[in-house]
């Protein structure tokens, strides 16, 4: 095989032929029946299945707090930022290392982002740097549970309370994670989940916002539907006013049907992913030049969305994996590399040290334990 100049030059790896691809959607068999039933019904847009999905999601992941289903995780984040009262000229502290969806909505809103550095041992936001960045203009702290490992919510919560500002959790990676016995989704004022194609639970694309304050539910429902009180409208009250800017952020019953089927088998899905992550954790121990990210925590449970390692000569490792029909990639990038987000910062030493060393290994429900062991074997053989 011809050696490539850089891993990004490698073509997307196809499934089959013994290949272990980086991601693969998980579609429960029940989703096909659920979607078919929906397509034959009166409701294919936002209807009763969205409401049922919200109810069941709330019970499972949000300790009964309101859950608002939307068209994407990005929709849910923007909705959270609006509900938190962020406005033009405000500042937020947010992680530099995340999907750009975490920070792009601030550009819609004219909100200034202060990027916080990562912790070297988790790639999560560094609470110490968060504390340094806060000032009287800071109106919220945004956190991302990278790969599915919860952040240090105790320290971050203490900081937020000191400054009397909310925490907004981007839990796109963290469905099923827990922190000190509480589910992620029941910890902070606002928590976003993503149901994009390759997440634990997919609705094709979609998202959910959970709220600690139930009084915000009605406003959230209005904002996701053009600012209209949809329940009043459906009762025949056609003269209801629109008093706030709204968006078209609702989920459809087609997506909710997929989500309901995924909820039915979520424990098995999460269990399998955690089993694979544990194979990596154990199998990569003691290998020179590589370190497993996010293991050995007793106060939090990993949701096992990503397996990330820090590797010396990362490019060579990726090439070795590719030659052995194993796909890998960096997946997420520091957000300050993008011009639209203001360009590179000079106060992020941990991110600087790690940006060329981290890499994500395959982890999904189409993999077997033997597949994960094969990845470990290839890595152990050197690169």
Quick one: 115 and 243 in the same domain? yes
Whether residue 11 lies inside any domain: the answer is yes
* Residue at 320 is within a domain: yes
Same domain, 259 and 314: no
Q: Which of 231, 208, 282 is nearest to 59 (CA)?
A: 208
Residues 228 and 368 in one domain: no
pLDDT tens per residue, range 9-52: 567 899 988 999 999 999 999 999 999 999 999 999 999 999 99
**Does some domain include residue 1?**
no
**pLDDT score at 230:** 76
Instruction: Mark whether 60 and 84 lie in a shared domain.
Output: yes
Q: What is the domain count for the chain?
A: 2
Q: Measured over all CA atoms, what is the biggest interatomic distance in the chain, rounded to whole angstroms?
A: 71
In a domain, 288, yes or no: yes
Say whether both 260 and 270 belong to one domain: no
Are 110 and 198 part of one and the same domain?
Answer: yes
259 and 270 in a single domain? The answer is no
**Would you state the pLDDT for residue 2?**
41
Instruction: For 90-116, write each residue's pLDDT tens digit.
Output: 999 999 999 999 999 999 999 999 999
Whole-number pLDDT of residue 5: 44
Please, are residues 43 and 187 in contact by the beta-carbon 8 Å criterion? no
Q: Which of 245, 264, 283 is the last residue of a domain?
A: 264
Last residue of a domain, one of 264, 288, 316: 264
Pinpoint the alpha helices (H) of the chain: 29-39, 48-61, 73-83, 104-109, 127-133, 153-163, 217-223, 230-234, 253-264, 266-283, 314-323, 349-354, 369-380
Residue 230 lies in a domain: yes
Together in a domain, 13 and 56: no
Centre a 10 Å sphere on the Cβ of residue 89 and count the other Cβ atoms it contains: 11
148 located within any domain:
yes
Whether residues 256 and 370 share a domain: the answer is no
Q: Determine the Cα–Cα distance for residues 168 and 85; give it in Å rounded to an integer.
A: 12
* CA neighbor of 374 nearest in space, from 23, 25, 26, 18: 18
Let me know if residue 106 belongs to a domain.
yes
- Same-domain check for residues 297 and 309: yes
Across the chain, what does the average pLDDT equal? 95
Its domain, for residue 34, covers: 29-264
Task: Quote the pTM value.
Answer: 0.94
The domain boundary, picked from 242, 264, 286, lies at 264
CATH no. for residue 346?
3.90.1150.10
Using DSSP's 3-state secondary structure scheme, residue 306 falls into: coil
Same domain, 238 and 290: no
Q: Is residue 107 part of a domain?
A: yes
The residues that bridge with 115 in the sheet, in sequence order, are 94
Same domain, 226 and 371: no
The DSSP element (H or E) to which 141 belongs, if any, is strand 138-144
The tokens of 202 are what? Answer: 């997919």
**Ranges in the chain, pLDDT < 70:** 1-10, 232-239
Helices then strands (H, E): number in the chain?
13, 15
Q: What is the CATH number of the domain that holds 80?
A: 3.40.640.10
Cβ-in-10-Å burial (0-12, 13-18, 19+) of 143 comes to buried
């Amino acid at each position: 095989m011809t050696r490539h100049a850089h891993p990004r030059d490698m073509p997307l790896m196809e499934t089959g032929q013994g290949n272990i691809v980086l991601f693969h959607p998980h579609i429960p068999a029940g989703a096909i029946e659920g979607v078919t039933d929906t397509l034959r019904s009166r409701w294919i847009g936002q209807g009763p299945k969205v409401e049922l999905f919200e109810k069941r999601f709330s019970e499972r992941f949000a300790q009964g707090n309101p859950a608002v289903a939307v068209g994407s995780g990005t929709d849910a984040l923007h909705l959270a930022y609006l509900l938190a009262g962020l406005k033009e000229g405000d500042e937020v502290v947010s992680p530099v290392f995340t999907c750009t969806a975490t920070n792009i909505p601030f550009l819609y809103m004219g909100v200034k982002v202060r990027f916080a550095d990562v912790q070297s041992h988790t790639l999560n936001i560094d609470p110490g740097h968060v504390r340094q960045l806060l000032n009287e203009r800071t109106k919220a702290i945004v956190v991302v549970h990278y790969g599915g490992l919860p952040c240090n919510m105790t320290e971050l919560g203490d900081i937020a309370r000191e400054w009397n500002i909310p925490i907004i959790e981007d839990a796109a990676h963290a469905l099923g994670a827990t922190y000190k016995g509480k589910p992620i989704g029941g910890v902070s004022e606002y928590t976003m989940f993503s149901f994009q194609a390759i997440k634990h639970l997919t609705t094709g694309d979609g998202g959910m916002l959970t709220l600690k304050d139930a009084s915000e539910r009605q406003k959230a429902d209005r904002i996701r539907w053009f600012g209209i009180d949809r329940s009043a409208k459906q009762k025949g009250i056609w003269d209801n006013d629109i008093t706030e800017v709204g968006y078209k952020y609702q989920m459809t019953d087609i997506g909710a049907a997929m989500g309901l089927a995924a909820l039915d088998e979520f424990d098995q899905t999460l269990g399998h992913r955690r089993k694979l992550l544990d194979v990596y954790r154990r199998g990569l121990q003691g290998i020179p030049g590589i370190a497993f990210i996010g293991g050995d925590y007793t106060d939090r449970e990993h949701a096992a969305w990503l397996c990330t390692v820090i590797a010396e000569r990362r490019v060579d490792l990726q090439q070795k994996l590719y030659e052995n029909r194993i796909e890998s990639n960096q997946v997420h990038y520091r957000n300050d590399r993008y011009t639209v987000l203001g360009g590179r910062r000079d106060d992020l030493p941990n991110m600087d040290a790690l940006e060329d060393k981290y890499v994500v290994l395959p982890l999904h429900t189409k993999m077997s334990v033997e597949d994960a062991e094969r990845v470990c074997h290839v890595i152990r053989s050197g690169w």
